[in-house]
Amino acid sequence: MTAAATRSPVTGDELDASTLAGEHALLLRDVRRRAAPVLALLETDSWPHAQLRMLTGFLRTAVLRQASDEEALLFPNGASAPFAELTTEHVQLHTLADQLDRADATSCSVAELRALIDQLLRVLAHHLVQERALLQALPERTGPVPSAADLVAGTQTWLPCDDGPVQILLDALPRERATQICLERLLRLRPGQVAEIHSSHDLDLQRLCRWVHAFDSAGYGLARVPAGPAGSALQVTRRHAAWLEPS
């Protein structure tokens, strides 16, 4: 998405896509556009094979990617309160996308698919409103909240990150998607930023440790740290670029 003017899908007013409000308006409009032909076919009791693939593909490449960027670039200290609820809603969107991915004519009825899409549209619309309101109300912030796309591109800045590590709770994520969601978050750590990954399953932490080490052992530091009497957590540090320069 580029920082250009667009029209609100609700009011028709011109919006600036460099703001989070404009970015959200585009996302909601484009999800509704892809959901509409799916729902139209369902009304005729026809299974929307290609149309459903287009919808789920857009959810993966645009909506969930934007949500991951938001967590890395807009939420102060990751999932700390009050942003834990927003992160939980992102997980809910991941779960709905998974369910739509798995839906087929042999295992899912037309009525069940219609209900899933209705739930997706309802959750997404509510979440976008709640997210903007919470971010705009932060006492440190004046002016419109910037879009995640502009933050990724480096054309806008946001709140300074606090010194605490980003907390990632694997047990709170959908079991089948927990590793992928966690890895997406780690890939968006800023240089010098630290994440602590907690799980009641030590094998999950071991797998993540092996993946990060194989992916980029120079760019990410790994350590096991105490996490209460029950066990330990995996600490991942995105190293500064200066640490990676050859001596």
In the predicted model, what is the mean pLDDT of residues 59-67? Answer: 91
Average pLDDT, the chain: 82
End position of a domain, from candidates 151, 181, 213: 151
Same domain, 169 and 146: no
Same domain, 147 and 167: no
Q: How many CA atoms lie within 13 A of 152 on its CB side?
A: 18
Whether 175 is covered by a domain: the verdict is: yes
Residue 124: band (very low, low, confident or very high) from pLDDT cuts 50, 70, 90: very high
Residue 243: band (very low, low, confident or very high) from pLDDT cuts 50, 70, 90: very low
Residue 12: band (very low, low, confident or very high) from pLDDT cuts 50, 70, 90: very low
In the predicted model, what is the mean pLDDT of residues 155-180? Answer: 75
Q: How many domains does the chain have?
A: 2
Give the pLDDT of residue 163: 59
For residue 116, the surrounding DSSP H or E stretch is helix 110-136
Q: Which domain holds residue 177?
A: 163-244
What percentage of the chain carries pLDDT values higher than 70? Answer: 83
Same domain, 71 and 17: yes
pLDDT tens string 82-112: 677 788 888 889 889 999 999 999 999 999 9
Q: Are 167 and 80 in contact (CB under 8 A)?
A: yes
What is the Cα–Cα distance from 64 to 57, expressed in whole angstroms?
Answer: 10
User: pTM of this prediction?
Assistant: 0.72
Supply the CATH number for residue 206's domain.
3.30.110.40
Give the pLDDT of residue 191: 82
Query: What SS3 class is residue 15?
Result: strand
Same domain, 77 and 110: yes
Same domain, 67 and 107: yes
